[in-house]
Structure 1
Amino acid sequence: MKLPKYVLIDDIQYKIKEVSHRKLQLSNEDLQSEIFGDTRYKPACIRICDGMASDETKITLVHEIIHAILHERGFEKQNDDEAMVDGLAHALRMLAKQNPELVREVLSCNQKI
């Protein structure tokens, strides 16, 4: 999967970078589990582990976008709840896969330029 270069979240441009698995682990040594992505708020950056299967990359990106949304909206307590963030990421991914017409209609931005 080719990752986008950035994502806008509440007018904040988060860069999206692919990094090595080793780099992610080394920069998150305080965590007790293996990670495949992380979100840095200053500077605004989402890092995704390179070399994963397409579906794994997509779910990891959605997971990290949810972290960024929660942070930008001031939901820091909820942002620390990895189980909730992961559950939401999987639920949103399944919603999009199982209901593509609904997602296109509800989330589309049909602006005429």
Structure 2
Amino acid sequence: MQLPKSVLIDDIEYKVEEVSHKELQLSSEDFKNEYWGETRCKQASIRICEGMADDETKITLVHEIIHAILQERGFDQQNNDEAMVDGLAHALRMLVKQNPELIKEVLS
């Protein structure tokens, strides 16, 4: 999958880049879990682990975009709920994938 160079979230341009798995782990404060993506709101950047399968890359990007949306909207507590963010990412991706006409209508 070719990642976009950036994504607009509430009129803030988040730079999107692929980085090595090792780089993501080194930047994490939580050494107990592995990370496949990271959102840095203060730097307005989203970092995605390189070398993943397309579907994994897509869901990780959606997951990180949800983190950015929650942060920009002030939902700090919910933003820290990884299970909720992951569930929303999977549900949103399936909604868009399974209902393209609905999405077109809603966005028009």
Q: Same fold (TM over 0.5)?
A: yes
* Counterpart for residue 2 of structure 1: 2
Give TM-score, length-normalised by structure 1: 0.92
Cα deviation 1:53-88 (Å, max 9, x = unaligned) = 111000000000000000000000000000000000
Please give the alpha-carbon distance, in whole angstroms, between the structure 2 residues aligned to 1:95 and 1:107: 14
State the secondary structure of the residue aligned to 1:65: helix
Q: Mind listing any 5+ residue stretches in structure 2 that lack a counterpart?
A: none
Aligned partner of residue 84 in structure 1, secondary structure: helix
TM-score, length of structure 2 as denominator length = 0.96
Distance 1:107 1:54 in 2: 25
The residue number in structure 1 matching 2:104 is 104
Structure 1, unaligned runs of 5 or more: 109-113
The root-mean-square deviation of aligned C-alpha atoms, in Å, is 1.0
Q: Give the structure with higher Rg (CA).
A: 1
Distance 1:59 1:51 in 2: 14
Letter aligned with residue 71 of structure 2: H
Offset of residue 29 of structure 1:
4.2
Match of 1:16 in 2: 16
Q: In structure 1, what is the Cα distance between the partners aligned to 2:66 and 2:91?
A: 12
- How many residues are treated as equivalent by the alignment? 108
Does the residue aligned with 1:93 lie in a helix, a strand or coil?
helix
